Amino acid sequence: MSDVCATILKPLASPLTGEVHVPGDKSISHRAILFAAMAEGTSKVTGVLDSEDVRSSIKAVCQLGAEVNLKKDGSGALCGTITGWGSKGPEQPEDPIDCGNSGTTARLLMGMLAPWPIQVTITGDASLRLRPMRRNTAPLMKMGVQFKPAEADHLPITEIGNPNLRAITYDAPMASAQLKTAVLLAGVYAQGTTTLNEPAPSRNHTELMLPEFGVPTTAGTRVATVSGPCVMHAADVVVPGDPSSAAFLCAAAILKRGSSICVEDVSLNPARIGFVRTLERMGANIEDARKGSEGKEPYGSICASYTPHLRGCEVPSQHFASIVDEVPILAVVAAHAKGVTVFKGAAELRVKETDRLQAIIDGLEQVGIDAWEEGDNLYVEGDPDLTVPPNTTFPSHGDHRLAMTWAVLGMCSNTPVSIEGFESISVSYPGFMDAIRSLEA
C-alpha cells in the first residue's frame, strides 16, 4: 500500500464560467529573478510567480550575494526589488545551493556561475538529482568551465568558474530553452560571439529579456547569439500570466459540458501557446487574442468553451518543444477525442520531473484508454464516451503537471477520483483549486 497521502476530488457540480487570472509565468519569473541578480544596480520586478520552484531561484541568488526584497501583492504575486552583484560577481556561498525540484534553477545557475572564480556545488531534491545535466555541462566545459566530477550527468555537481571563458558555436542535440539559456548567459561574459543552434525552436524568453538588461542579442527561429564581454544593467520586468497554468483551466472548460471561460493577461508568446494550436487541431472551441506586450513579451486572453466533438490529430516533432509541459493535459483531451492523436518526438517527457511518458500511458490505461509509445512518439486512441471507473487512484509521482492533469480528468468525469501527492501542485500553481472553485461558482 502506498504511504503517499491521497486527495479525493469530486466531479464538478456545475460548468466553469467567467474570467480568471493565472499566476505569473514560471519561466519568465525565474529569468526575472536570475537576470536581475546578475545585473548592475537595482531591478524592479512585478507579477512574479510565488511557487516552490521560483523560491528556489530566489534562495539561490541570495546565497550568491544578491539583495532580494520581494513581498506578496494583492493578487498573491511577488513584487519588489532585486539588487544584483553586477561586475563584482557573485559571492562564494558557504553551503551547496539546493535547487529543490527546479531544473530551471539548476541549469541556468550553471551558465550564471561560469565566468566567476568561485567553486559552487549545485544539488536538488531526489527527483531533480535524477534529471540529466550533461546536456548543460558539455557546452560549458567547451567554454572553459570545470565540473566535478567531469563526467557527471546528475546532481550534485560542483562547478568551478573561469574568468577567461571562450566564446563557442554550439549545435545543441535537443531543443531546450534551459540549455540555450545557460550557454547564452555564459556567453555574456565570454570574449567574442557565442552562438547556439537548435534542431527545433524552444522557448525564447531569454532572447527577449536579455536586451532589457542591456545585452544585445540576435535571435532567429533556431539560432541565438550574444557577443561579450558585456555588463548587464538593472531593468524593470512585469511578468504576464503563465500559459502552462492556463492550459489546465482551458482543458477543463473544453471537457465540462456548458463551460465557457476566458483566461486574462496571460503570455501569448508563440513558443508557449502551442497547446492552443494543438487544441484547435482537435476541433476544440479555443482562441487567443493579443492585447499588448510587457517588454517584448506579448500578452492577452485565451478563451475556451465546452466542445462536444473532439477529433484526434498529429503534433509534428518540430512543434513538440512548444507543448512539452502541456502534453499530459493534452493527452487527457485526446483521450476524449474520436480517433488517434500522435505526439511526435515525445522522448523528452522521460526526463522531466518524472517519466511523464510512462505516467501518461499508465494513467490513461486506468480509465480504459489505449495509449502507447512507438519510437519517440506517443499515441493516444480516444473514446468520446470515456468514463472513469469507481475508486480510481492516480499517482502524481510528485509531479505538479501530472497532479493537475489527473485532477482535470477526475473533475470532468462521472465519479470521484483520488490523486496521490496532489500537494505537488505548489511547485507551479498553488492556487489551482481556488481558480477552479471561482469558475465553478
Cβ–Cβ < 8 Å for 38, 112: yes
Cell numbers given for 340: 488517434
Q: Look at residue 411 and give its three-state secondary structure.
A: helix
Give the HSE-up count for residue 93: Cα atoms under 13 Å, Cβ half-sphere.
20
Nearest to 22 by CA among 284, 237, 295, 273: 273
Cell numbers given for 332: 487527457
| H helical segments located in 293-393 | 327-335, 356-365
Q: What sign for the dihedral angle of Cα 352, 355, 357, 363?
A: negative
Cβ–Cβ < 8 Å for 72, 50: yes
In whole angstroms, what is the distance from residue 164 CA to residue 159 CA?
15
- Catalytic: which of 50, 325, 362, 399? 325
**Proportion of the chain in helix, strand, coil states, percent, rounded to 5:** 35, 30, 40
Establish whether 325 is a catalytic residue: yes
| Residues assigned a catalytic role | 325
